[in-house]
Structure 1
Amino acid sequence: MILSIASGKGGTGKTTVAVNMALSLENVQLLDCDVEEPNDHLLLQPKIEETFPVYVRVPNINLEKCDYCAKCAEFCAFNALFVANKQIMVFPEICHNCGGCTIVCPRKAISEKRRKIGRVKKGFADGVELVFGELSVGEPMAVPVIREVKRQMRDDRNVIVDSPPGTACPVVESVYGSDYCVLVTEPTPFGLYDLKIAVEVIEKLKIPFGVVVNQAGIGDRKVYEYCKENQIPVLLEIPYSRRIAELYSSGIPFVLEMPEWREKFQELFSAVERRASG
């Protein structure tokens, strides 16, 4: 079972749901794909057992062969190559690593070299196997690091994918291939607005989904009305609770101090399994 946890914006409680659910289950692997700002490890405090770099391949120009024909620059849809006045410039940060420039160069003047853009860490905490990525500071492209995190996915475990916030390419890469997606929202106008965008994306990906309402009790009922009108199941409500907030601000997953919530997350996972298979 591959379950992704997503949200239309940051701060809704996506990581809270992912971490507390992982701690409530057995035989589970948690993938933190929010590689620009991973924080599952801050709550779990795992023992890191493996760290390895993530590389992408970018153009390497042989100036002795290059005749500045500019066919590489014309081909590149992302303007990662610029040719003018017998000069060629490479902008590796915006290269999408397709390798097309090496193919279209008539003089075979372009090869590829490795460029480090981040790293992946693996560890264990409280029976949970955690894998998370860290995009290097200043790097704009999270997707290659997310792909490397997902390559560590194990077939013999239930997998929870904690995706980045929003609805851009990193989110699509994170949730793609999931059996089910839980969208975490809050009952506020901002929460509803971003939930609608997230629903549109998940529907286009044809992934079955449901909603978890975090901080239930604040705001209004419009999120619930929207879900009812669109036949979206509300799978769980997490109340607006000072106790939960205090534990979170101390870096403590609340199921560790409020064990009655373990059963609720187990029931949530069972409901997800039924819906994904039905």
Structure 2
Amino acid sequence: MIISVASGKGGTGKTTVAVSLALSIENSQIIDCDVEEPNVHIFLNPEIQREIEVTTVIPEVDKEKCNYCGYCSEICAYNALSVIKLEGSGEVLLFPHLCHGCEGCILLCPDKAIKKAERIIGRVKIGLVDGVEFIEGRLNLSEVLAPKVIEKAKSFINPEKFTIIDAPPGTSCPAVTAIKGSHYCMLVTEPTPFGLHDLELAYEVTNALGVRAGVIINKSDEDSLIEDYCSKNNIPVLLKIPFQRQIAEAYSKGIPLIKVMPEYKEAFREMLREIR
């Protein structure tokens, strides 16, 4: 079973829930798909056993074959190519950070003057801690193709294990890529107008993807704002985590919730039983 833990905004406690759930059950793996700001490793301190580079396809121009017709530039939807034609020669300029690796220029070049090359954009780390398999995607600095790194990290999903995906915050392409294919999505929110607004957006994403979802209220205090929305839309409230200093202090020290409040281990297990 694959469960993604997502949120419409950052700072709601998504990683707190994902880590606690992974540590509460047996035969689990956790995949940190927040590739621009991965932080699951801070709470688990896993022993890394291997690293895999993540690459994307970029075009490489054979100047002996190229006649600088400019067709590759015309068809590139991302403006990653620019062709300068001079008398008797020319130049093809590639802007690699704009290239999405669609390979359209390679396929459609009239003179077959473009071939595949690769560029490293990130890496995936795989390790182990307390019986939990740890997988982390990490996008290199200055890179923008987060979905490709997320897809690579998700390629290590083991169908024999219970998989927890820590998704990126928000509702853009990286979050959609992380949630897609999950059997269930836990939406973590906080009982504020801002939290409600972004919960609504995140729930729309799960609906569009056809993924069933439930809500976890973190920093629980006065929850009527969230509860009324969930009741109106028939969304189950799976769990409430109280607004307590003890929890915040543990988080600031990189200590998982269930380590300081062991009673929550059974709460997470019961929540999983209800979902299943």
Indicate the TM-score class for this superposition, using the shorter chain for normalisation.
Answer: over 0.9
Aligned pairs for 1:181-260 (under 5 A) are 181-217=185-221, 221-260=224-263
How many angstroms does 1:91 deviate by? Answer: 1.1
What do the CA deviations read for 1:37-76 (whole angstroms, capped 9, x no partner)?
1000110000111112111110001112111111111111
What do the CA deviations read for 1:25-44 (whole angstroms, capped 9, x no partner)?
10001000001010001100
How many angstroms does 1:103 deviate by? Answer: 1.0
RMSD between aligned alpha carbons? 1.0
Identity rate, percent: 51
Does residue 2 of structure 2 align to residue 2 of structure 1? yes
- Map of 1:60 onto structure 2: 60
1:115 to 119, 131, 135: 119
TM-score by length of 2: 0.96
Distance 1:138 1:60 in 2: 21
Structure 2 gaps, min length 5: none
Distance 2:95 2:226 in 1: 44
- Map of 2:164 onto structure 1: 160
How many angstroms does 1:229 deviate by? Answer: 0.8
What do the CA deviations read for 1:91-132 (whole angstroms, capped 9, x no partner)?
111211111111110111100111001111011111111100
- Map of 1:129 onto structure 2: 133
What SS does the aligned partner of 1:122 have?
strand
- Map of 2:38 onto structure 1: 38
Does structure 1 conserve the Cα–Cα contact (< 8 Å) formed by 2:4 and 2:164?
Answer: yes
Does residue 273 of structure 2 align to residue 270 of structure 1? yes
What SS does the aligned partner of 1:48 have?
strand
- Map of 2:84 onto structure 1: 84
How many angstroms does 1:84 deviate by? Answer: 2.9
What SS does the aligned partner of 1:130 have?
strand
TM-score by length of 1: 0.96
Structure 1 gaps, min length 5: 274-278
Does structure 1 conserve the Cα–Cα contact (< 8 Å) formed by 2:217 and 2:237?
Answer: yes
- Runs of 4+ aligned structure 1 residues displaced above 4 Å come to none
How many angstroms does 1:257 deviate by? Answer: 2.3
What do the CA deviations read for 1:115-168 (whole angstroms, capped 9, x no partner)?
001111011111111100111011011011111100011011000000000001
